[in-house]
Amino acid sequence: MARGPTRATDGLYTLSMTKLQTPKFALRNGELAAWDATTLHIGSEAVTRALSVFEGIKGYWGADGSFGLVEVHKHYERLLRSARLLHIPCPRSFDEFQADIFRLVESLVSPEHDLWVRATLFVVEGHWGEGTVADLILTAYHQNKESREPIDLGVSTWQRSLDNALPYRIKSAANYQVARLARIEGRSRGFGDMILLNQWGRVAEATAAAVLIVRNGVVHTPSHTEGALESITVDAVESIAGAAGLRFERRPIDRTELSIADEICICGTLEQLLPVRSIDGLPVDPDGPVLGELRRRYMAIVRRELEHEGVDITVVPS
């Protein structure tokens, strides 16, 4: 019997896992262009060596009808850090970057959907670090306003890379090769996402998001030196937890702690705080009180139903 379309797990797809959204426009170094015209040459290092760094910025419709972008400046700063570590120049200042995003959002936003903006620095000129030139290309994808259903999570046989091999601190296309392999492995086992372990066999992160667990009412997440990206969303959740009177600790997490955790979620710009209902086949409460409260507060803050000074939201000018 033929299998029907499979819903995508990261919100960038429309009908199936093989059909990407194709927005009408993209911005290249501040210039609005048709989607199909924003191309890269086959000889560029972005193509031949996967030499690019990127950021994803989520925009939400607020309760007052305005559209707000979460932590634009922090995402720009992290983009520059990734670029610095790969010796990639950025052609746009922060003010230009933000104005570019405003322009793209105004061109693509619809009242029925939120948006995820992807900012990517593609190396288009240069060779082995000499004469490097990069284009900053902005794209944006519609996102459902409704929260996703809890997922089944597995632990991958693929390993998080080392800081002195392929630094996990760099948010680059190359760093997502192991994530791709882990997701392929996970699909074959019926999992919605996979956790990558580090060289010590401890939890690093999921394929494209951080991992939060709860034990005895305390929220735990791996520290950055365990192989986890320096997550802007985790920083926001930590601040929200403090305001809610919840303990939040960054520390090494053993693999076996996943199996005995009271609650688990994966946490990131796209995933927000996505509940986990099982880990390697063992059931987990997806409606746990601690992460459930943090999830409710986070969504109320990004939709500007609740104020919180630890999360910066930039409203797009109307």
3-state secondary structure string across 181-242? HHHHHHHHCCCCEEEEECCCCEEEEECCCEEEEEECCEEEECCHHHCCCCCHHHHHHHHHHH
Instruction: Tell which residue, 53, 124, 133, has the closest CA to residue 86.
Output: 53
Average pLDDT, the chain: 93
Lowest mean pLDDT among 1-5, 175-179, 216-220: 1-5
pLDDT at residue 23 greater than cutoff 80: yes
Q: How far apart are the first and last CA of the chain?
A: 50
**15 pLDDT more than 90:** no
Q: Could you tell me what percent of the chain has a pLDDT over 90?
A: 90
Tens of pLDDT, residue by residue over 88-146, are 999 999 999 999 999 999 999 999 999 999 999 999 999 999 999 999 999 999 999 99
CA distances for 108 relative to 11, 105, 315, angstroms? 16, 5, 16
Assigned CATH topology for domain 25-143: D-amino Acid Aminotransferase; Chain A, domain 1 (3.30.470)
| % of the chain exceeding 70 in pLDDT | 94
pLDDT of residue 16: 39
Backbone angles phi, psi at 240, to 5 degrees: -65, -40
Amino acid identity at 150: P
CATH topology of domain 151-302: D-amino Acid Aminotransferase; Chain A, domain 2 (3.20.10)
Q: Is the pLDDT of residue 17 over 60?
A: no
DSSP three-state, residue 169: coil
Question: How, if at all, do strands 248-250 and 218-221 pair?
Answer: parallel
